[in-house]
């Protein structure tokens, strides 16, 4: 299983930005074992998390699907909802990509997150392709299994 592990430290905003830029640069390089679809989906998720970290509500909104935009109506309402209901997404301190599961008209990208209080989560990102660009159509969070 191909995992990509990225650390994000919110309290070090300049370091966070540099880390995310480097991660995006690395992810944008084609890898023999990774499809373009994997790379594009991961970039979309990383860029939205970066936008949350930078409090850039318009950029975070830009990565949301049309269904999300219809449901929440504005970038402010959307970002406020994510901040309140999904703090592990809004303020992730660690990100690890796991498997991507195709589902016909959409893809599920599993992302392991560490939230701002250190708790680990499995995030199931529903991704849709709209006019040639991957968009986030929803995220389901559940506490990660701790394992051994």
The Cα–Cα gap between 143 and 47 comes to 23
User: CA nearest 99: which of 33, 3, 30, 28?
Assistant: 3
Range of the domain at 80: 4-143
Q: Does a structural domain hold residue 107? A: yes
The pLDDT tens digits for 47-97 are 999 999 999 999 999 999 999 999 999 999 999 999 999 999 999 999 999
Question: What does the H/E/C string look like for 33-57?
Answer: CCCHHHHHHHHHHHHHHHHHHCCCH
Confidence (pTM): 0.76
Q: Does a structural domain hold residue 18? A: yes
Q: What is the CATH number of the domain that holds 47?
A: 3.10.450.630
> Which residues are registered as beta bridge partners of 1?
none
Domains contained in the chain, number: 1
Q: Does a structural domain hold residue 46? A: yes
Q: Does a structural domain hold residue 148? A: no
């Amino acid at each position: 299983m191909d995992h990509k592990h990225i650390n994000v430290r919110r309290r070090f905003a300049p370091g966070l930005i540099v880390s995310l830029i480097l991660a995006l640069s690395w992810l944008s390089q084609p890898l023999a074992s990774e499809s373009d679809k994997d790379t594009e989906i991961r970039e979309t998720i990383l860029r939205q998390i970066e936008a949350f970290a930078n409090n850039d509500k318009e950029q975070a909104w830009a990565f949301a699907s049309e269904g999300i935009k219809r449901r929440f109506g504005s970038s402010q309402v959307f970002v406020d909802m994510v901040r309140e209901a999904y703090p592990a997404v809004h303020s992730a301190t660690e990100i690890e990509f796991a498997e991507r599961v195709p589902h016909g008209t959409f893809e599920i990208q599993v992302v392991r997150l560490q939230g701002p209080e250190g708790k680990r989560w499995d995030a199931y990102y529903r991704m849709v392709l709209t006019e040639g660009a991957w968009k986030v159509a929803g995220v389901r969070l559940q506490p990660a299994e701790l394992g051994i």
